[in-house]
Structure formats: structure tokens, C-alpha cells
């Protein structure tokens, strides 16, 4: 009687474990799900950073910089940005001396060649300097500071939690995505920016968190500012087939404009570097140059949102000579931004690029209209909108990002087909005239660029397994009962568990499918231990192995998380690498080598 009850109870437990094993992968919080939770938190950070920047800038400068400068006398137009540059430079000079050297703050650099660690105190200093520069009329965009601070706070979160480099890099990407999404109210563009520019990877395990972060950041920002975009786009008529050649020509022009802009940025840096002045004097000189230009073109001050909106609505037609005015504004913004960025001002060039694109597009459209109405039916504002995307594509080398950004800003499909043509043509032209994008220029100077416009960690085979290594799958001891092993499989999503001895040396692995065979046999689960069911240890990696050397072992492995041991002699389990991530790196590297345009 008692024996029969024991047998029934054992059979019940076996059935329970078999059902639980089938459902455990559906119930366990996978790492991918955890990353979505983190991405949501980073999205909140990005939205709040955007709010902070908005009110911090308006605390110093309550109105639009262009409108404020337009009400000033000539000497005041010079004085304000000059003193602003001096103040921003002093914050950088003394602030960075106080915090001391902390490492690179370049997003791409810490992703491509670093471990995802962005220095927090250095970024606080740069944020203060950026706010002063933006508020006093420097020709720079606020999106750079928002993106940088959001990424740094995200990285700091991971550093406090002592997460491995692969997760820190993802947090940096999510921070960048949330910053762009919040700054422009453009969640799709934010995710694409982080995927293409920062991480250089569209794999779903990375893209999904970026999307999540962008959406949350945009929604947080909309809670305070509403859904209205920064750019007010008027309705434009849909382009027709006979009009498309004009947009192709516009793409050629915008490619040249973008290339010249990049060359001027580099020239500005070279010229200011030759001065060997302290940073506060360089920024003061840059502010003085902007002030001189603002006497004739006050629109160069600040990020230029209001001026770009005026161009899109064709308010320049009220000028005595619209062509001359647009050409002067384009050159003025070129020089003002080159001086501002070249001096070392903290901020972004995304918004100035859109300004330059709008000026170039409007100049092209107005010229066509005055030369006999060749582009009849296409407003100059439509050419300006397409020009914004085409110049953005030329400077970032990312047509997809430019197309999505302009579509999200306009929320109108009518100009998307000509926009697509102009973007791809502009990139082809820009590549012939200037070899680097605005984001890879600094990497190339430091010898970190990897032979393509966007890059990700690991595209160079010089990177090691240690750079991608994460915490190992929690192992079991060799004497662990089968009952406990079954419980372990119920609480994680792995199909294999490593088996170690008392010194953490890897002895083998237990496979989930092997465990099912023992459950079906209705044996005493406490009498069977891990040593009885484990397989021999798989081929392992070591932290110092280069990716190219590790490829054969990764290809042969059937484990999702390939074990990493300290060395083959001791065989101590120290970590694991994601097999899919390593293979994705090689796949992208092969694709880059086979593409002659990259």
C-alpha cells in the first residue's frame, strides 16, 4: 500500500517536471527581456535629459537665439557669443582640470575600441559648457549634448551594476537612441541612428532594445512638449515623374555641399589646433567669429530651428534678392559652424546639417524658378525639405537614417520618393569628394576606423574574446542531484548547464534533452548526480583569443553560450560568449569586404 502510494507520487512528480520543462522557456525572463526592461529605463532617462536641456538653456536665454540676436545692436551681437564662448571655455578648462583625466567621451570610440564606459564627471562638465554655448548663440545643436548625457547616464547605470562590456555598449546605444528620439520627437530615427551609427548592427537582439528606448523617450518628451515637431512642415504636392530629374540634380548639389561642410569642419579644427591656445580663448574666438557673421546673418546663431522653418515656408522670398540671401546664409552657416566645432565647442552638428541642407535645397529650387520656371509645380520649400535629408545623408553616409528622419519630421509621404533618390545620389557624390563621415572622422585620426562608415565592436579581427565575454551560465557541481538540476533548468532558459568541481574547473555539461530521458525512466532523481549524466567538456575559448582564432570553435559548438576558461591547462570557467553575436560580427565583416562601395 505504502509502496504503491510512493510510486504514484513519484510518477506525479515526473509528469509535473516534464510539463514544467516544456513550459520553462516560455516563463523564464530571458536576457533579451531584461534588456528591454533596461531600455525602457534608459528611455525615461533620455526623455528627462531632453527636458533638462530645454529648461536649462531657457533659464539663460528665455527666447529663440535668432530672435534675441535680431533685436540686438551690432556690438551686442558680437559681445554675447564672444562672452558666451569665454564662459563655456572656462567651464571646460577648470572643470576638466578638477575632475582629471577620465577617458574618452566619444560614443563611437567607447563602442568600437572601448568597453562601453563613458566618464560621468567629465560629461557633467561638458554638459554645463554645452548649455552655455547653446544659450549664447553658438552655431551648434543641442541634440549632441542631449544624446551624450543620456548615453553617459545609461553607461553609468551599467557601471554601478558592474555589468560586462557587451551590456554597457548596448546601454550606450540605447542612450543615444533615446537622446535623438527625444530631441527630435522621432522615435524611429532614434533607433535607426543608434543601430547604424553607434552600434552598426541591425540584429534583433540589439535593435529591439533600441526601439523600446526610443519609443519610451519620445513618449516621455511628448508628455511635456506635446506631439508638435520642432520643424513646422507645410503641405507639399506629390512629386511627379517628370520632376524627379530635378531632385537627382539636387542630390548632386547636396553631395557637394555635404562634402564641403565636412572639409570645412576638418579645416576649422586644424586652424584652431595651430593656435595652441587654451580652450577658453579658442571658444571665445569662435564666439567672436559667429558674432561678426551675425551682424549680416543673425540666423547663424543657435541651432537654427526658426530659420529652417522660415526657409521651409519660403519666407526668404520677401528678401530683395532671395538667391543672394540664400547663398550668403549657406556660406555664413558653413563658416560659423566650422569655427564653432573647430574650436572645441561641445554640441552636435546634426541640426546645423539640416539647416545647411534646407538652405542648399531652397537655393536650388529658387534658382530653377527664376531660370524660366523649369521646376514649375514644385515649391522651393519642397526642395528645401529634400535638401535637408540629402545633406544629412551626405555627412552621415546613412541614406536610411536621412530618409526616416525627414519622413518623421514631415509626416508626409508625398516627397519620400524624390527624397530617396536625392539621398542616395548625394552619398555617391560625397564619397568621391570626402572619404569620411562626420562621425568616423575622429576615429580615423586616432587609427580606430575600421574601413567602413559605420562600425561595431568586433568588426576588426584584432578584438579578443575577452571584449565580448559575459558572465558564465551559472554552473552546477559534479555531485548535484538530478532533482536539483531539473529545478535549475526550470529557472533559466539554457539548454546546457556547465558542470564544475570545487575549484571551478569545467568537467562537462548537462544537456536538457539528456535530462528528459532520465525523467522518463522514472528513476530516483536523488540517486542520480550530474557526473552520471554529463557530457564531456566542449571545446572552450580563452579571454585572450582573437576572434579569428576562435571562429572554428564557435562554428563547431552547439551551445548558445560558448564557455570561456582562463587557460586550457587549468580549465577554470570564467565566462561565456554569445555564439550568435560572434557569428553576426563575422557575417558583417564579410559583407563589408564584399561590398566595393564600403
Are 17 and 519 in contact by the 8 Å Cβ rule? The answer is: yes
Answer whether residue 284 shows pLDDT above 80.
yes
Q: Could you tell me if 430 and 518 lie in one domain?
A: no
Q: Could you tell me if 491 and 408 lie in one domain?
A: no
Three-class SS state of 185: coil
pLDDT at 4: 57
Q: Could you tell me if 67 and 130 lie in one domain?
A: yes
pLDDT at 11: 55
Q: Could you tell me if 383 and 419 lie in one domain?
A: yes
pLDDT digit string (tens) for 409-465?
Answer: 888 888 999 999 999 999 999 999 998 888 877 666 555 544 444 444 444 456 778
The domain in which residue 525 lies consists of: 465-594
Q: Enumerate residues 6+ apart whose C-beta is below 8 A from 208.
A: 32, 35, 36, 39
Q: Enumerate residues 6+ apart whose C-beta is below 8 A from 428.
A: 255
564 closest CA partner among 581, 583, 550: 550
Answer whether residue 29 shows pLDDT above 60.
no
Q: pLDDT higher for 154 or 497?
A: 154
Q: Could you tell me if 255 and 380 lie in one domain?
A: yes
Three-class SS state of 305: helix
pLDDT at 452: 40
Q: 580 lies in a domain?
A: yes
Are 468 and 456 in contact by the 8 Å Cβ rule? The answer is: no
Q: 141 lies in a domain?
A: yes
Q: Enumerate residues 6+ apart whose C-beta is below 8 A from 173.
A: 111, 151, 194, 195, 198, 199, 206, 209, 210
The cell numbers describing 346, all together, are 561641445
Q: Could you tell me if 255 and 287 lie in one domain?
A: yes
What's the whole-model pTM score?
0.77
pLDDT digit string (tens) for 90-121?
Answer: 999 999 999 987 777 888 878 766 778 899 99
pLDDT at 592: 54
pLDDT bin (cut points 50, 70, 90) of residue 594 is very low
The cell numbers describing 528, all together, are 542520480
Q: Which residues of 182-195 are buried (b: 16+ CB within 10 A; e: fewer)?
A: bbbbbbbbbbbbbb
CATH number, domain containing residue 579: 3.10.580.10
Are 510 and 499 in contact by the 8 Å Cβ rule? The answer is: yes
Final residue of a domain: which of 225, 251, 273?
A: 225
112 closest CA partner among 597, 397, 443: 443
Q: pLDDT higher for 495 or 280?
A: 280
pLDDT at 567: 85
Q: Whole-angstrom Cα distance, residue 335 to residue 5?
A: 89
Are 440 and 183 in contact by the 8 Å Cβ rule? The answer is: no
pLDDT at 518: 66
Least confident of 247-261, 401-415, 441-455: 441-455
The cell numbers describing 339, all together, are 569655427
Per 3-state DSSP, the chain is made up of helix, strand and coil in percentages (nearest 5) of: 65, 5, 30
Least confident of 109-113, 401-405, 562-566: 109-113
pLDDT digit string (tens) for 147-157?
Answer: 999 999 999 99
Q: Could you tell me if 420 and 315 lie in one domain?
A: yes
Which of 162-166, 239-243, 246-250, 481-485 ranks highest by mean pLDDT?
A: 246-250
pLDDT bin (cut points 50, 70, 90) of residue 403 is very high
The cell numbers describing 177, all together, are 537612441
Answer whether residue 293 shows pLDDT above 90.
yes
The cell numbers describing 461, all together, are 579581427
Answer whether residue 200 shows pLDDT above 80.
no
What is the pairing mode between strands 476-477 and 496-500? parallel
Q: Distances in Å between the alpha carbon of 595 and those of 312, 426, 428? A: 37, 19, 14
pLDDT digit string (tens) for 299-312?
Answer: 999 888 889 999 99
pLDDT at 449: 46
The string of DSSP letters for 352-390 reads HHHHHHHHHHHHHHHHHHHTTSTTTTS-HHHHHHHHHHH
Q: 451 lies in a domain?
A: no
Total number of domains constituting the chain: 3
Q: Enumerate residues 6+ apart whose C-beta is below 8 A from 93.
A: 278, 279, 280
CATH number, domain containing residue 303: 1.10.3080.10
Q: Could you tell me if 52 and 121 lie in one domain?
A: yes
pLDDT at 96: 93
Q: pLDDT higher for 39 or 594?
A: 39
Q: Could you tell me if 201 and 161 lie in one domain?
A: yes
pLDDT at 593: 54
- Kindly give the residue spans of alpha helices, DSSP state H, lying in 138-243: 142-160, 165-184, 187-193, 204-225
Q: Enumerate residues 6+ apart whose C-beta is below 8 A from 88.
A: 129, 130, 132, 133, 136, 138, 280, 283, 345, 346
Q: Could you tell me if 137 and 58 lie in one domain?
A: yes
Q: 7 lies in a domain?
A: no
Three-class SS state of 575: strand
Are 195 and 201 in contact by the 8 Å Cβ rule? The answer is: yes
The cell numbers describing 257, all together, are 555641399
Q: Could you tell me if 245 and 379 lie in one domain?
A: yes
Amino acid at each position: 500500500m505504502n509502496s504503491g502510494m510512493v510510486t504514484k507520487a513519484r510518477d506525479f512528480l515526473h509528469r509535473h517536471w516534464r510539463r514544467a520543462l516544456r513550459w520553462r522557456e516560455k516563463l523564464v525572463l530571458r536576457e533579451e527581456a531584461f534588456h528591454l526592461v533596461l531600455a525602457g529605463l534608459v528611455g525615461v532617462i533620455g526623455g528627462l535629459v531632453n527636458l533638462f536641456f530645454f529648461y536649462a538653456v531657457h533659464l539663460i536665454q528665455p527666447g529663440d537665439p535668432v530672435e534675441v540676436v535680431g533685436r540686438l545692436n551690432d556690438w551686442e551681437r558680437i559681445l554675447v557669443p564672444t562672452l558666451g564662448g569665454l564662459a563655456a571655455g572656462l567651464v571646460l578648462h577648470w572643470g576638466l582640470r578638477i575632475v582629471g583625466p577620465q577617458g574618452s567621451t566619444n560614443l563611437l570610440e567607447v563602442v568600437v575600441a572601448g568597453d562601453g564606459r563613458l566618464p560621468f564627471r567629465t560629461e557633467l562638465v561638458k554638459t554645463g559648457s554645452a548649455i552655455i554655448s547653446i544659450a549664447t548663440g553658438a552655431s551648434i545643436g543641442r541634440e549632441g549634448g542631449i544624446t551624450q548625457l543620456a548615453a553617459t547616464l545609461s553607461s553609468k547605470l551599467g557601471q554601478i551594476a558592474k555589468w560586462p562590456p557587451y551590456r554597457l555598449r548596448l546601454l550606450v546605444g540605447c542612450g543615444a537612441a533615446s537622446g535623438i528620439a527625444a530631441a527630435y520627437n522621432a522615435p524611429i530615427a532614434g533607433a535607426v541612428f543608434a543601430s547604424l551609427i553607434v552600434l552598426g548592427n541591425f540584429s534583433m537582439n540589439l535593435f529591439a532594445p533600441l526601439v523600446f528606448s526610443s519609443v519610451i523617450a519620445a513618449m516621455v518628451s511628448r508628455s511635456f512638449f506635446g506631439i508638435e515637431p520642432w520643424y513646422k512642415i507645410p503641405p507639399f504636392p506629390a512629386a511627379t515623374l517628370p520632376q524627379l530629374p530635378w531632385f537627382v540634380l539636387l542630390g548632386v548639389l547636396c553631395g557637394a555641399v555635404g562634402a564641403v561642410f565636412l572639409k570645412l569642419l576638418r579645416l576649422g579644427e586644424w586652424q584652431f589646433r595651430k593656435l595652441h591656445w587654451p580652450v577658453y580663448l579658442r571658444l571665445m574666438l569662435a564666439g567672436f567669429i559667429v558674432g561678426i557673421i551675425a551682424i549680416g546673418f543673425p540666423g547663424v546663431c543657435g541651432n537654427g530651428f526658426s530659420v529652417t522653418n522660415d526657409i521651409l515656408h519660403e519666407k526668404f522670398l520677401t528678401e530683395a534678392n532671395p538667391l543672394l540671401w540664400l547663398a550668403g546664409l549657406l556660406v555664413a552657416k558653413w563658416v560659423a559652424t566650422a569655427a564653432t566645432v573647430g574650436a572645441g565647442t561641445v554640441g552636435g552638428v546634426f541640426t546645423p546639417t539640416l539647416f545647411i541642407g534646407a538652405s542648399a535645397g531652397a537655393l536650388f529650387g529658387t534658382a530653377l524658378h527664376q531660370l524660366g520656371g523649369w521646376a514649375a509645380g514644385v515649391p522651393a520649400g519642397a526642395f528645401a525639405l529634400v535638401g535637408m535629408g540629402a545633406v544629412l545623408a551626405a555627412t552621415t553616409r546613412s541614406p536610411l537614417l536621412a530618409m526616416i528622419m525627414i519622413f518623421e519630421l514631415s509626416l508626409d509621404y508625398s516627397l519620400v520618393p524624390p527624397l530617396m533618390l536625392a539621398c542616395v545620389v548625394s552619398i555617391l557624390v560625397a564619397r568621391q569628394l570626402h572619404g569620411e563621415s562626420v562621425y568616423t572622422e575622429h576615429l580615423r585620426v586616432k587609427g580606430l576606423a575600421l574601413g567602413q562608415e559605420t562600425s561595431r565592436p568586433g568588426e576588426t579581427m584584432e578584438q579578443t574574446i575577452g571584449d565580448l565575454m559575459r558572465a558564465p551560465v551559472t554552473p552546477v557541481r559534479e555531485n548535484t542531484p538530478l532533482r536539483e538540476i531539473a529545478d535549475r533548468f526550470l529557472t533559466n532558459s539554457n539548454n546546457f548547464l556547465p558542470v564544475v568541481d570545487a575549484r571551478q574547473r569545467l568537467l562537462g555539461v548537462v544537456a536538457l534533452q539528456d535530462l528528459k530521458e532520465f525523467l522518463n525512466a522514472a528513476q530516483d532523481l536523488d540517486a542520480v548526480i550530474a557526473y552520471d549524466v554529463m557530457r564531456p567538456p566542449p571545446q572552450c575559448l580563452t579571454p585572450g583569443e582573437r576572434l579569428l582564432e576562435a571562429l572554428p570553435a564557435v562554428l563547431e559548438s552547439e551551445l548558445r553560450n560558448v564557455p570561456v576558461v582562463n587557460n586550457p591547462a587549468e580549465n577554470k570557467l570564467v565566462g561565456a560568449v554569445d555564439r550568435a553575436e560572434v557569428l553576426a560580427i563575422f557575417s558583417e565583416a564579410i559583407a563589408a569586404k564584399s561590398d566595393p562601395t564600403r
